[in-house]
Chain A
Amino acid sequence: MTGDDLHLDVRIRDWVLIPVAIVTFCMGIMLQSLGILVRRPLKIHQHKIREGATLSRLGQFKRNAGVLPPDQFASRLAFFVEGDDAFLNQQKAQKSLINSFMSPDFMASQLTESMLSFLPQMVFGAFIRYTFGGFTVCKVPFPLPQRFGSMLQSGIELASRDLDVTYVSALSWYILNLFGYQGVYRLVLSSPNMTAGTQSANSRSSASALSGIITDQVEMGWNQSIQGEKATLKKLICKWDVPSAEDELLQIKFKEVYKQ
């Protein structure tokens, strides 16, 4: 050690460096498990599901109207366009994507999630800042440019910023750990318990959450697009194609088909 070097006490390693690393790790694990407990699936309103399904029905109706005999065709056409409460005659309030992200359900779920991840981290960060403020816990074994100072030495306020950048403060050590553990968590928690459990419980709900947002997007352009839809439906003529199957059938040489 040259005379310029700071001497780091071994006890700092034993009582600050290692404990902070361990506690941060354990906190991360706890937060992950807590997140699984607290997370609620996003609520999807049934009218939204219905709307999405009706839209898909409308698409199928336009595409495959030929399978319907005239009376069935007429009753479905009526469902879409006839009368004030027909599907395509409903007026919808204009919605925007911001609206769907601002919905109370979505906000609440976002809030709990961010509360869970940030609040404990901030509290613990404040604790470290308070307890170990000004500690220099380790030294990076390679030279670093001056700009890293703000990243590695938060919490150390020296009048003259002339401490070598390679020294790491306690608070910075904690923050480095916080982000550095992400990959480790992924390794440690990748038992079927964690990944599969959350998948099977949430994949459906997240999928339906997505579909909710998609129908919202459809609603955004609703008033513009229904005019177009109505026009296409008006042009749609009923042409039942089932009876023509008889002629088709008579063309089939059954014996040849059967032998194949």
Chain B
Amino acid sequence: MSTEAASVVLSRKLEDGSTDGEVLELLRLAPLRRPEVVLSMRKEWRGRRDRQKLRFWDKLEQAAFAALDRASFDDMDWAARMIFSTFGSSWRLNRLIGMKREAIGDIEESMVVYENMLEKDPNNRAALKRQVTVLRTSGKLSEATAHLCWYLKIYLSDVDAWCELADLYISAGSYPQAIYCYNEALLYEKSNWALYLRLGDIYYTLADESSMLTARHYYSKSLTLNSKHNVRAMYGLLLSSQALESGPRAQELKNKNLKNWVQEALKTVYKDKCPSKLSLLPLQ
């Protein structure tokens, strides 16, 4: 489920009076981050009613993460205490504790927590990945990159990690490496329009003649997979085809067709969503 689709389902569920439990479940499964909604459903995860059920603990963990997002540490501490008193120490609890340290800005301490987790279980992926985020937050980008590379040498089928590594490379300006990472992610998710969009952006940034053409390919691919809600790819396609017009491909018919297609598309979207800004479109 894409983020947009999920948020539509969520608002529908919030309106038509679905139970809080259903909403929480949707939030758990869908790629949505709505801590305020989770925290507002206190009855679901503070209630005494179904502590015997496993599902309750899923909700409690969810609430703990939401509490971290909203910096309401009382709720988070309460949840952690509840989890500890029932299950004792576990890697999931330790991850929560480490993330709280991160949230209050105690970066070194959180690193220690994750290292202890890894001592117990060197294959704990949660701890390995948290370490990367910690390093990234504290500005040690090259260390974070090295860490993530090491992680991906072992878990080389982790798509999210590949995307994160690509992001790290982009912030370091290492575009060829980032391209490699996104291609790796594409091997696993070849219908993910956002990945094609990212690749288009990178090639557009490289800005030479052949890269610009590749960027146009990728933007087009992204638009075929998602043409309705993809204005970024439209702009990409527009700008790349405009840039190609000044080169040796100036007379290419396909380039012209694509440019016309995307101009029409952009006009349609702008007329519908914000007619007043139609004149700002960089149309030629």
Distance between Cα atoms of A260 and B178 in the complex (Å): 36
Are A54 and B187 neighbours in the complex by a CB distance under 8 Å?
Answer: no
Contact B123 A44 (CB under 8 A): yes
Residues from chain A with a CB closer than 8 A to the CB of B119 are: none
- Which among A49, A192, A197, A243 is the interface contact of B123 at CB below 8 angstroms? A49
User: In the bound complex, do residue B156 and residue A53 qualify as a contact, i.e. CB atoms below 8 Å apart?
Assistant: yes
Contacts of B57 in A (CB 8 A): 192, 196, 200
Q: Is the interface of A mostly helix, strand, loop or mixed?
A: helix
Contact A200 B87 (CB under 8 A): yes
Q: Contact at B224–A245, with CB atoms within 8 Å?
A: yes
Pick out which of these stretches binds chain A: B67-75, B106-114, B258-266. Answer: B258-266
Binds A, one of B6-14, B25-33, B48-56: B48-56
Contacts of A257 in B (CB 8 A): 227-228
Q: B2 contacts the other chain (Cβ, under 8 Å)?
A: no
Interface centre among B121, B123, B254, B264 (most CB of A within 10 A): B123
Partner of B92, one of A200, A205, A248, A249: A200
| A197 CB contact (under 8 Å) in B51, B86, B196, B269 | B86
Q: Note all chain B residues with C-beta closer than 8 A to A94.
A: none
Q: Interface segment, B15-23, B35-43, B211-219? A: B211-219
From 178 to 209 in chain A, residues with beta carbon under 8 angstroms from any chain B beta carbon are 191-193, 195-197, 199-201, 205, 208
Q: A246 contacts which chain B residues (CB < 8 A)?
A: 216-217, 220, 254, 258
The reply to whether B186 and A64 form a contact with Cβ atoms under 8 Å apart is yes
Which of the segments A5-13, A68-76, A113-121 contacts the partner chain? A68-76
Mark B153-168 against chain A: 1 for CB-CB distance below 8 A, else 0. 1111100000000000
Question: Which residue of the partner chain A has the closest CB to B188?
Answer: A60
Return the CB mask of B55-83 against A: 1 if under 8 Å, else 0: 01100000000000000000000000000
- Nearest chain B CB to A151's CB is how many angstroms away? 38
Query: Shortest distance in angstroms between A100's beta carbon and chain B's nearest beta carbon?
Result: 17
Contacts of A201 in B (CB 8 A): 87, 90-91
Compute how far the CA of A205 lies from the CA of B124 in the bound complex, rounded to whole angstroms. Answer: 10
Count, chain B residues at interface, CB 8 A:
47
A54 to B153, CA, bound (A): 9
- On chain A, the number of residues with a Cβ less than 8 Å from chain B's Cβ atoms is 43
A255 near B268: Cβ-Cβ < 8 Å: yes
From B50, which residue of chain A is reached at the shortest CB distance? A192
Interface of B is mostly: helix
Whether A56 and B217, one on each chain, are in contact in the complex, defined by CB atoms closer than 8 angstroms, is no
Q: 0/1 per residue, B101-143, Cβ < 8 Å to A?
A: 0000000000000000000011100000000000000000000
Residue from A200, A242, A250, A258 in contact with B218 in the complex, judged by beta carbons closer than 8 Å:
A242
Instruction: Determine if A193 and B156 form an interchain contact, defined as CB atoms under 8 angstroms apart.
Output: no
Q: Which of A56, A200, A246 has the most CB of B within 10 A?
A: A246
The one of B156, B187, B269 in contact with A68, judged by C-beta atoms closer than 8 angstroms, is: B187
Judging by beta carbons under 8 Å apart, are A250 and B52 in contact? no
Contact A72 B183 (CB under 8 A): yes
Q: A200-B90, A246-B216, A248-B224 are in contact. Are A64 and B187 (CB under 8 A)?
A: yes
**Residues A53 and B157 in contact, CB atoms below 8 Å apart:** yes
Q: Hey, which chain B residues are within 8 Å of A252, CB to CB?
A: 223-224, 227
Instruction: List the B side residues contacting A199 at CB < 8 Å.
Output: 54
Task: Determine whether A142 belongs to the interface, using a CB cutoff of 8 Å to chain B.
Answer: no
Q: Is the CB of B220 within 8 A of A46?
A: no
* A260 neighbours in B (Cβ, 8 Å): 228
Q: List 28 A-B contacts (CB under 8 A).
A: A46-B154, A49-B154, A50-B153, A50-B156, A57-B157, A57-B187, A60-B188, A67-B186, A68-B187, A192-B53, A195-B54, A196-B54, A196-B86, A196-B87, A197-B86, A200-B57, A200-B87, A200-B90, A205-B121, A242-B196, A243-B217, A245-B223, A246-B254, A249-B220, A249-B261, A252-B227, A254-B265, A257-B228
Q: Interface of B with A (CB < 8 Å)?
A: 51-54, 56-57, 86-88, 90-92, 121-123, 153-157, 179-180, 183, 186-188, 190, 196, 214, 216-218, 220-221, 223-224, 227-228, 254, 257-258, 261, 264-265, 268-269, 272
3 closest cross-chain pairs (CB), A and B: A245-B221, A254-B265, A246-B220
User: Could you list which residues of chain A lie within 8 angstroms of chain B, going by C-beta atoms?
Assistant: 41, 44, 46, 49-50, 53-54, 56-57, 60-61, 64, 66-69, 72, 75, 191-193, 195-197, 199-201, 205, 208, 242-243, 245-250, 252, 254-255, 257-258, 260
